[in-house]
Amino acid sequence: SLSKSKLKEVLQEAMEFYHFYLLYTDEGHQALKYLFSRGLDLDFIRLFKVGLSPKQGRVFGKAMQKLNFSGEALEKVGLIKTYDKVRKKAFFSARIMFPILDHFGSVIGFSGRKTQDEGFGPKYVNTPETVLFKKSHTLYGLSFSRRRIAKEKKAIIVEGQIDALRLIEEGFNLTVAGQGTAFTED
């Protein structure tokens, strides 16, 4: 069985891959244009390790294989999904990837956003529930904001990841976002 630290290592490397893919590929440059049109700059993208999942999931799979991560490990952290009991497919495809961090700053999952508002699927897709990622127990941006929230005993709660990160970058590092409809009393 895989330890939580091994699973976090898989997610850390996936974040590095997605970030690299956004910054250094043709497909990534198209997504960068979209991010720039939303008013985000390279400093923001680098600070928060924003990335891109390739349209062709095999590209991601091969990169993870080269790092010797097993299909089992990738599946356990929600990065690949098995269809028809045999075929494996990348869970995220052609989405801007926002790493979801635990309160210590370790990657526990991702929120993937479509770059175009038309097309198939919801605007945002989160990592499925895993041993590391429990949607209803996770506040996006908490690792950047937890100290100030604890000190001042107040928080700004916003709807989206980009809104939370923008406010944090502007010095409002007491901002968090819920994970979509999973925002509950918990």
Instruction: Place 11 in a pLDDT band, splitting at 50, 70 and 90.
Output: very high
- Residue written as tokens 């996006």? 140
Distance (Å, whole) CA 175 – CA 39:
19
Determine contact, residues 133/100, Cβ cutoff 8 Å. Answer: yes
Residue 73, strand partner residues: none
Q: What is the pLDDT of residues 108-163, one digit of tens each?
A: 999 999 887 666 778 888 999 999 998 888 889 999 999 999 999 999 999 888 89
Own/partner contacts of 100-104, CB < 8 Å, gap of 24 or more, are 100/126, 100/127, 100/133, 100/138, 100/140, 100/179, 101/142, 101/143, 102/132, 102/138, 102/142, 102/143, 103/142, 103/143, 103/146, 104/143
| pTM for this predicted structure | 0.91
Distance CA 141, CA 124 (A): 16
Residue-wise pLDDT for 66-90, tens only, equals 999 999 999 999 999 988 777 889 9
Q: What is the mean pLDDT of the chain?
A: 91
**What does the pLDDT read at residue 38?**
87
- Judged against a pLDDT cut of 90, whether residue 27 lies above it is answered with yes
pLDDT digit string, tens, across residues 39-59: 999 999 999 999 999 999 899
Tokens (6 digits) for 45:
């993208």
